[in-house]
């Protein structure tokens, strides 16, 4: 590689470094308030329902609670890999919810799947902002 090409490559990498650092420095820790919108089997959307996440990220481990503001359940199997959080939430006598969330422009966004007896029964979109 010529010196000109090396210099150009170094300039490109230097320009991208702040953007990469900003993406990897986002943390899931905090209280997030928002909604989940159920996708019906016919493709229509149900009315948004409120959801609150109280999350703590320590490295690649994610702990905390989630659910309606007045009823929170402990999250299980919480992990953060490549900027994506995954975890499960088991409602007592209810479905198992599996979440896959990322931080997009300061918002917690992603998908939730509800399972009962190992069969996916529904999907929802999640959108939440950090509480003030």
Cα(4)–Cα(24) distance, rounded to whole angstroms? 30
Structurally, how many domains does the chain consist of? Answer: 1
pLDDT on residue 90: 93
Q: Answer whether 103's CB lies under 8 Å from 91's CB.
A: no
Q: Is 58 within the bounds of a domain?
A: yes
Cα(55)–Cα(17) distance, rounded to whole angstroms? 27
Q: Is 55 within the bounds of a domain?
A: yes
Q: Is 49 within the bounds of a domain?
A: yes
Q: What tens digit of pLDDT does each residue of 71-87 get?
A: 999 999 999 999 999 99
What is the number of other CB atoms lying within 10 angstroms of the CB of residue 124? Answer: 21
Whole-structure pTM over 0.95, yes or no?
Answer: no
Q: What tens digit of pLDDT does each residue of 31-43 get?
A: 999 999 999 878 8
Q: Is 124 within the bounds of a domain?
A: yes
Q: What tens digit of pLDDT does each residue of 48-58 get?
A: 999 999 999 99
Q: Is 89 within the bounds of a domain?
A: yes
Domain region containing 47 = 27-130
Q: Is 116 within the bounds of a domain?
A: yes
Q: Is 34 within the bounds of a domain?
A: yes
Whichever domain contains 105, its CATH number is 2.40.128.20
Closest CA to 128 of 76, 48, 30, 52: 52
Q: Give the number of C-alpha atoms closer than 13 A to the C-alpha of residue 4, restricted to the C-beta side.
A: 0
Q: Is 31 within the bounds of a domain?
A: yes
């Amino acid at each position: 590689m010529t010196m000109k090409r090396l210099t150009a490559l170094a300039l490109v990498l230097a320009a991208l470094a702040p953007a990469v650092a900003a993406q990897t420095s986002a943390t899931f820790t905090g209280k997030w308030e928002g909604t989940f919108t159920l996708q019906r089997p016919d493709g229509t959307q149900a009315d948004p329902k409120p959801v609150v996440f109280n999350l703590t990220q320590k490295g690649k481990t994610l702990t905390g609670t989630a659910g309606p503001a007045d009823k929170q359940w402990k999250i299980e199997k919480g992990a953060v890999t490549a900027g994506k959080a995954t975890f499960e939430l088991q409602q007592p006598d209810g479905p198992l919810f599996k979440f896959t969330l990322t931080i997009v422009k300061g918002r917690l966004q992603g998908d939730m799947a509800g399972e009962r007896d190992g069969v996916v029964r529904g999907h929802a979109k999640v959108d939440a902002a950090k509480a003030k």
